[in-house]
Structure formats: structure tokens, C-alpha cells
Amino acid sequence: MKITRRLLVSVCVLTLSGVVPGFAMAADTIAIITPSHDNPFFKAEADGAAAKAKELGYDTMVLVHDDDANKQNELFDSAIAAGVKAIILDNAGADASVAAVQKAKDKGIPSFLIDREITTTGVAVSQIVSNNYQGAQLGAEEFVKLMGEKGNYAELVGKESDTNAGIRSQGYHDVIDQYAELKSVAKQTANWSQTEAYTVMESILQAHPDIKGVISGNDTMAMGAYAALEAAGRKDVIVVGFDGSNDVRDSIKNGGIKATVLQPAYSQAQLAVEQADKFIKTGSTGLEEKQLMDCVLINADNAAKLETFALSN
Amino acid sequence: MNMKKILAAGMLAALCLSGCKLVKTEEAGKEAAANGPGGDQERIATLVASTYDAKLVPKLTETAVDISTLLPAIKANLDDAGKAYGLRVGGAGGGWNFSVKGTAPVVDADLVSKAAVAQLDFDGDGKADATLQLGPVVKGSAIRDTSAIYDFSTFRDQIEYAKLGRALNDKAVSGLAVPESGLKGKTVTFVGAVSIRSAGEVPLITPVSLEVGR
């Protein structure tokens, strides 16, 4: 249904574009390509990048690849054809995205990656990612504390093709596995999805009713898991997420989900645009390609200061 | 400007429509498995073996600033202290990394916890000014990030880079000799690394060498 609607919109836009045969270039354009804005994290990225681009005098072309590498490839073709000066990308797969970024590079269009890495260096100009390992350790340390260092727990893992799913799981385990009385009874993927997490959590609950905590690879899955727990009358189960979304912030404030880890999505996207601007103007960012940004633990103490993936002082 | 957007959207729509038969490929992940835990572990072990004693410890020892010089400098202005004595890795924030050395009395120690620590007093007021991590659980990646020896860009991804951080931490604390009689009240001399993100925080130092006096 959603697809139908999107296609319909596309067709309308296509018709419109037919009415406008030619145009003059007013300003340089930066393409901003991310996963679906259904997840507020990606919307915050796109908004942050667009705001900075506008501030620096660029037009923007905001696109979503819906975590589909084929679609991403087509979006790159569009961006290249439109003659954009740079591409800001949160990619659709660490391995699968290399070719698309390379294709743009071959056409002289630099890419600046945010949030997710690709597995090859020297193709993108910048790869600015959250320090997911550091963030996961923060989340795990809080989880261990909340669990009282013991009990059965489940883990919800993100999409396998995304490096961030693996790195967060590893960060969690490097901390949690040090505590022999914390037992992992289930480790399942819910592909970053809220609805999938709801279903997965329901079945985990049936198999392991004695569960005491759930640590999740992102906030949307944490929201899905908590909804399932709530529906089953199990609000006692400790849930910890990752991302720092407003949804989870509100849940923390209401005593639902206990903690999350903020990724500075908004400022990260802005930083990528600043580096793109510098690269366009000078041919260099003056920085290393791969850059890590620290994450921050969010719990009841500081949740009130969180707004749209940024923490106020 | 708007026209351009519309045109772009139009072209995009045309492409989307023409690309309707999207074939799901079982991409990614699989390939990464070839580089999986086993392969990483071995590569990282080799890297640590060839660089830790030969490059990292000498570099940290050589560049270490005395912590009684560093602490006041950080309190005055973290960025100035960073520029004078530290190293910023990655360019995108994440604080400053310093190699540090010092001699100080231990005012408190927790050797029972898996994340064992000693609290050190540098200004003689009897209160802790810094924390020395003794492991086996070590927080952060200060050792990895304090020399320019390991560049993130040369690693496959965060996972491999994180494994290096963990391996270096393990290597560092496994070599420390902590007396069974405990540390409280004794004086320790150390060389190590620390990451500082805000001027107000208590430095959490990961030592690469530790000598325990009386």
C-alpha cells in the first residue's frame, strides 16, 4: 500500500517535471541519501544535513534508499545525472555500497558517509561514524548495573548486512560476558524493525518467561520489545536501547525503557556537510577518512535534556 | 532552485519506475564471515605482538607528560592542554588522548572488582585525583588512541578496530604486577594513556607499566 502511494507520488512528480523543460542552475546541489525516514534517527540525519547545506548556500536533493542496495544504486545514478557536487550517504550495506560510492567517485563526485561504514577505504572521502563500540559498552555497563549483575536476558540484534549490528553486539558482550551470573537465553535479529521486534519478543517471552532483561541493538527494536512486554504484563523486564530517539526518551521519562545510548546523528550529518563543503572548495578535508564520534549514555538522569538526537547542556 | 529539485525528483521517479523488478540479493554479511572472528583474532594478535613492545610502549614512554603538569593544564583549558600535550584521533571529536606518567600514593584501591582500580592522589590533599585501571576489565581505548601507530582508516571496520583496542587493553593489564598485600597506602610509579572528554572528569588511566614502592 505504501509502495503504491510512493509510486503515485513519483508519477505526479514525473508529470510535473514534464511541464518544466529547462532550467538554470541557481546553486550547487548536495545529495543526501539515507534509509527511510520512518525511523526518526534517519530523519534527524537528513534534516541535520539539509539544514547545514542550506546554511552553506547549497540546494539539496533528499532521497531514501529503504535499505535496498539496488535502489541505492539507482539513487546514485540520479544524483550523478543531476550533477550534484557531493553526496552525503547513510548507506544500504557495508559491502554492497562500495560499488555505488566508487561509481560516483569515478564521475568526480565525492561521497561523505555518516553512521554506517563501508568495508573499503579510499573510495569515500570521509566516513564519520558513531563510536558504536564505545557506546555499546556504555549501554552494557548500565544494563549490568540495572540487572544487579545477574539474571537471564535476551538480545535483539540489528540487520546483519550493517556493520553497526555486529559492533554493538560485540561491545555489549565484551562487557556483559565478564559477569558469569548474567545468562544470555536468546539472541535474535529483528532487523532494526519495531514490528519485527514485537513479534520476536513475544516468542522469546513464551520460551523464556523467566527473562529479566532485554538489551537491544537500536531504539526502534527496543520500542517494539517494550510494547510486547507491556502487552504481556511484563513491565518489570529491563529494556536498554541504542540511538537516543525521542520515543525512547519519553519512555525513559515514564519509567518504561530504562536507558539508551545517544548517537549524535544530527551533528554528525552537519559535520559531514561541513567536510563536503571544505572538500568542494579546497579539494581536501584535511582530516583522516575514518572518524569516530563518541556516544553518550541516556538514562532517567539526563533524558530530559535530549531532543532530536542532540543533548543540550 | 525548486525547478531543479523537481527535475531531479522526476528523473529519480523515472528511474524508480523503470527499476520495478527489484531482485533481492543475499548480499553482504556472508562475505564478512570470511573475515570473521577467527581471522580477525589472528590478525590482531599478530599486530599486537609486533607493535606493543617494539613501538607502542616506547612511544608512550617517550611522549609521556607528567600528570602533575597535565592535570592543572586540563583544568585551565582542555583544548589548550590537548594541543600542547595530547593527540586528537579522527578529527571528529571524542576528546583528547594523552600519554602520561607519574608517581603518587594510592589513597584507595578496589582489587576485588573485575574492573579493579587504584585511586591516586597527586596534589597531596588525601583525595583521589585520578584512577588507574588494573583490569581484567578495562574501560575505553586510550592505549590504542594515544599514539598515531594505529590508524582507524587502515582497518576493515569498527569491529576489527575495537578488537585491537580490547587486545591492547588485555595485553597492558596482564603485564601488571599487583602485590597480594594490596595497594592502599603504597606509592606507585606508572606510564600509561588517558582519554579526556571534559575538563571536569576524573582521569581514567590505563597503565602500560606499574612499579609499586613501599
CATH number reported for the structural domain that contains residue A101 in this entry: 3.40.50.2300
| Residue A119 included in any domain | yes
User: Is the confidence at residue A298, as pLDDT, over 50?
Assistant: yes
Residue that finishes a domain, picked among A262, A278, A300: A262
Do A112 and A138 fall into the same domain?
A: no
User: Is the confidence at residue B12, as pLDDT, over 80?
Assistant: no
Nearest CA in chain B to A114: B92
Nearest to B112 by CA among B178, B17, B199, B57: B178
pTM for this model (two decimals): 0.77
Do A113 and A145 fall into the same domain?
A: no
Nearest-by-Cβ selection for B7 from A17, A160, A268: A17
Tell me which of A207-216, B14-23, B151-160, B191-200 is least confident: B14-23
Residue A98 lies in domain: 5-129+265-292
ipTM of this complex prediction, to 2 decimal places: 0.74
Å between A93 CA and nearest CA of chain B:
7
From chain A, the residues in CB contact with B139 under 8 A are: 137, 141
| Residue A269 included in any domain | yes
d(CA A244, CA A27): 34
Nearest to A198 by CA among A218, A162, A165, A222: A222
Bridge partners for A276 per DSSP: none
Burial A253-277, CB ≥16 within 10 A → b, else e: eeebbbbbbbbbbbbbbbbbbbbbb
Helices of type H across chain A: 2-19, 40-55, 69-81, 98-106, 132-146, 163-176, 194-207, 219-231, 246-253, 265-282
**pLDDT tens digit sequence for B23-74:** 444 433 333 433 445 588 899 999 999 999 999 999 999 999 999 999 999 9
Do A187 and A91 fall into the same domain?
A: no
Nearest CA in chain B to A13: B10
Asked if B158's CB is within 8 angstroms of A133's CB, the reply is: yes
Helix-helix angle B67-76:B78-85, to 10 degrees: 140
At B197 the pLDDT is 86
Å between B124 CA and nearest CA of chain A:
32
Specify whether the CB–CB gap between B23 and A71 falls below 8 A: no
User: Is the confidence at residue B174, as pLDDT, over 80?
Assistant: yes
Asked if A119's CB is within 8 angstroms of B22's CB, the reply is: no
From chain B, the residues in CB contact with A71 under 8 A are: 16, 19, 22
| Residue A308 included in any domain | no
| Residue A305 included in any domain | no
d(CA A260, CA B189): 38
Nearest CA in chain B to A68: B24
Å between A59 CA and nearest CA of chain B:
7
Do A154 and A228 fall into the same domain?
A: yes
Asked if B153's CB is within 8 angstroms of A289's CB, the reply is: yes
Asked if A61's CB is within 8 angstroms of B5's CB, the reply is: yes
Q: B residues 41-80 near A, CB within 8 Å?
A: none
**pLDDT tens digit sequence for A49-93:** 999 999 999 999 999 999 999 999 999 999 999 999 999 999 999
User: Is the confidence at residue B8, as pLDDT, over 70?
Assistant: no
* Banded model confidence at residue B15, pLDDT cuts 50, 70, 90: very low
Number of domains in chain A: 2
Do A57 and A175 fall into the same domain?
A: no
